[in-house]
Structure 1
Amino acid sequence: MRSKKLFLSWAVVSLYVLLGFQAIAQTGANNFPNRPVTLVVPFTSGSGSDTIARIVGPKLSEKWKQAVVVDNRAGASGNLGTDKVAKAVPDGYTLLMAIDTMTMTPAIYKSLPYDPINDLAPISRLAVATYVMAINNDVPAKDLNSLFAYIKSKPGQLNYGTPGSGTPHHLNMEYLKTLRGLDLLHVPYKGLAGAQTDLIGGQVQMMFATFNSLLPLAKSGKIKMLAVTGAKRSELMPDVPTFTEQGLPEMENLFPWYAVLSPSNTPKDIQAKIHKDFSDVMLMDEVKKQLSDSGIFVRLSTSDQLRDIIKTDLDRWKKLVQQANIPLN
């Protein structure tokens, strides 16, 4: 009788242990995701991170057999959306579709509601692109030299638009101003869409932006592109020369990168699954073509490589802001 009770006791204990392991498995990577996943884009529609999210979202949804929701949380140069993810439950269901802006805002804002190193876990760089200098059609310039001459003939009277202070559009333009001694006013908007609209309308005369974000406007003849970063011209707009061709090799290696991050305490196995699944989707021929047709090119990384990229860029932009005497917000 006693041995029968012991057997039953061990059976109950074993059952609890088994159920415990099953519960752990169900909450881990093996069962991820079991509900909708949100991709937070910290900028408006039409931005590079938004383009990537809307291309990969449906593919991830097919792979995961769960809804993938794109949530545009624009504002404060990407800080609103980034903060939302930094403070989200660290379970992998809220992800940040980041751009290199996240390494610039710490240099331009006196304080941030999150720490880009300690509050976010880097998962993978996804892609890179190039930047372009674009002007309103009424600006009397055909290349960079004629644009610079026009700016210098009207010191302090011309302006450039950006999606906000501390964005790549802002800091890269300030860098260009320093290189060529230009006197231009900065007009920050709450997102890319407003800046694009006013570039077309002439309320702002020029913009330094990602190639992919301005490509449709240039192709339709609504704006003019004068120069592109990178070592060679874009096949999508082969008539637009590089900065280097026009005497500015310092601008050649400036390019935006796009990445996916999660809240910092997201379990490592879930981070690894997100990395693998994003990588699988990004390497699909269909996805690569859709992105390259927009001027975005797949460049994956490990989580450690992305962490190094972020740290390096944080230091670089902090130094540039100090050297250029860019005022803090």
Structure 2
Amino acid sequence: MQSDNMTEQAVPSPHPMAVTRRQALLMASAMACVAPAAVAQPRPVAFASRPVTLVVPFTSGSGSDTIARLIGPRLGELWKQAVVVDNRPGASGNLGADRVAKSAPDGQNLLMAINTITATPALYKTLPFDPAADFTPITQLATAGFALIVNPDVPAKDMRSLLAYIKSRPAASLNYASPGNGTPHHLGFELMKQALGIDVVHVPYKGLAGAVTDLMGGQVQMMLATVQSVLPQVQAGRVRMLGVTGSARSPLVPDVPTFREQGISSLEGVDAWYAVLGPAGMAAPLVERLQQDFVQVMQQPDLQKKLAELGLTVHTGSPAELRTLMTTDMARWKKVVADARIQAE
């Protein structure tokens, strides 16, 4: 018996390090089991009890407003979170942009931006924000093509004959309309003037409706406008469309050739684009999640169909691609504005 007892005492007890290793293995196993559940937790855009706000810096019915109201409910379903659209028009979109620029970088306030934001640094001597430094690019959303339209009395059937007609007339004897100083319509036409060496006088209006009305009446002879905004007038024969921007013809007017088809490359990149921006300083995981979710919504077939009917083509991309687009546009419009001596009203 004594021998047996001695034998029992001779058996070494478990080493403390061995126990620690076993515990570590158990902990690792437990972590592996709960990892899928962690992934399934609410996304980083599930913001407490407050709604996510899509700030539209223009009036109701504008392109950015239309997109926001179409995607808002879909984002809300994806995030299980209320999403509201807040229209903050004024100062060419600067009021709404400034609100987002000065908001917390938590993703609760997002700007439904259009490409006018890349022209504002050139148009305004002072801005309450810096488009390059005060925003976090998230993703581009869509584009809308521009078209050159003329009064039916203008003897031109395509861009080549229009340019010949302009150059045959006395300098500054023809006019073009725009919805206002510094609008994409204005800047795009000035870019074309500079590239093609034509002399046409700018007549700014306070909005698109007045510009199109006077174009139909012959007070002005031509203008750039988004395809969908003048489609009814084109279909009714009140204005004639000579060319469209983009790499492919617009499905809304498949019989109208692109400028590129007609040998004109100066209007590359003039298309109106729509994008979503957040305030500067947003965390990378949040930006990535937002980008993925916006792209997921924009890729829904029924949404793409609705946007196509409105003349909008879905075009998404990475935050880096959007930043590059903004930087390129800012450089382009800075030169156009300086050369044309454009000032915002």
Q: 87, 95, 103: which is aligned to 2:110?
A: 95
2:315 aligned residue? 299
Moved more, 126-135 or 183-192: 183-192
**2:106 partner SS:** coil
Counterpart CA distance in 2 for 1:72 and 1:202 is 34
Confirm whether residue 171 of structure 1 aligns to residue 171 of structure 2: no
Q: Does the 8 Å contact 1:215/1:294 carry over to 2?
A: no
Q: 288, 297, 303: which is aligned to 1:287?
A: 303
Counterpart CA distance in 2 for 1:231 and 1:28 is 37
Moved more, 125-134 or 39-48: 39-48
Aligned partner letter, 2:316:
L
Counterpart CA distance in 2 for 1:53 and 1:192 is 21
Q: Does the 8 Å contact 1:77/1:164 carry over to 2?
A: no
Shift of 1:184: 2.6
1:229 aligned residue? 245
Shift of 1:318: 1.9
Moved more, 236-245 or 212-221: 212-221
1:127 aligned residue? 142
Q: Does the 8 Å contact 1:108/1:165 carry over to 2?
A: no
1:37 aligned residue? 52
Classify 1:310/1:249 alpha carbon distance in 2 versus 1 (closer, same or farther; 3 Å): closer
Classify 1:261/1:158 alpha carbon distance in 2 versus 1 (closer, same or farther; 3 Å): same
1:23 aligned residue? none
Moved more, 35-44 or 173-182: 35-44
Classify 1:269/1:208 alpha carbon distance in 2 versus 1 (closer, same or farther; 3 Å): same
Question: Per-residue CA shift, 1:24-51, capped at 9, x if unaligned?
Answer: xx99826326333332223344443233
Query: RMSD over aligned Cα, in angstroms?
Result: 3.0
TM-score w.r.t. the length of structure 1 is: 0.78
TM-score w.r.t. the length of structure 2 is: 0.75
Moved more, 152-161 or 221-230: 152-161
Classify 1:132/1:239 alpha carbon distance in 2 versus 1 (closer, same or farther; 3 Å): same
Which of these two proteins has the greater Rg computed from alpha carbons? 2
Classify 1:216/1:259 alpha carbon distance in 2 versus 1 (closer, same or farther; 3 Å): farther
Counterpart CA distance in 1 for 2:276 and 2:257 is 31
Counterpart CA distance in 2 for 1:43 and 1:224 is 28
Shift of 1:67: 4.2
Counterpart CA distance in 1 for 2:126 and 2:243 is 34
Q: Does the 8 Å contact 1:104/1:318 carry over to 2?
A: yes
Question: Per-residue CA shift, 1:277-314, capped at 9, x if unaligned?
Answer: 21111011111122223332222212122112212222
Counterpart CA distance in 2 for 1:246 and 1:284 is 34
Shift of 1:197: 4.9
2:83 aligned residue? 68
Confirm whether residue 108 of structure 1 aligns to residue 123 of structure 2: yes
Classify 1:243/1:305 alpha carbon distance in 2 versus 1 (closer, same or farther; 3 Å): closer
Identity of aligned residues (%): 55
Classify 1:301/1:188 alpha carbon distance in 2 versus 1 (closer, same or farther; 3 Å): same
Confirm whether residue 208 of structure 1 aligns to residue 220 of structure 2: no
Q: 159, 162, 177: which is aligned to 1:144?
A: 159
1:13 aligned residue? none
Q: Does the 8 Å contact 1:232/1:242 carry over to 2?
A: yes
Moved more, 299-308 or 43-52: 43-52
Q: How does 1:244-255 map to 2 (within 5 A)?
A: 244-255=260-271
Moved more, 297-306 or 42-51: 42-51
Q: Does the 8 Å contact 2:139/2:275 carry over to 1?
A: yes
Q: Report how many aligned residue pairs link the two structures.
A: 303
Q: Does the 8 Å contact 1:137/1:224 carry over to 2?
A: yes
**1:245 partner SS:** coil
Specify every segment of 5 or more residues in structure 2 that has no aligned partner in the other structure, as ranges. Answer: 1-40
Confirm whether residue 256 of structure 1 aligns to residue 265 of structure 2: no
Aligned partner letter, 2:95:
L
Moved more, 267-276 or 289-298: 267-276
Question: Per-residue CA shift, 1:183-233, capped at 9, x if unaligned?
Answer: 333233454455445545555433212323333443454432111112332
2:93 aligned residue? 78
1:188 aligned residue? 204
Question: Per-residue CA shift, 1:46-66, capped at 9, x if unaligned?
Answer: 443233223212322333344
Q: Does the 8 Å contact 1:108/1:326 carry over to 2?
A: no
Q: Does the 8 Å contact 2:190/2:340 carry over to 1?
A: no
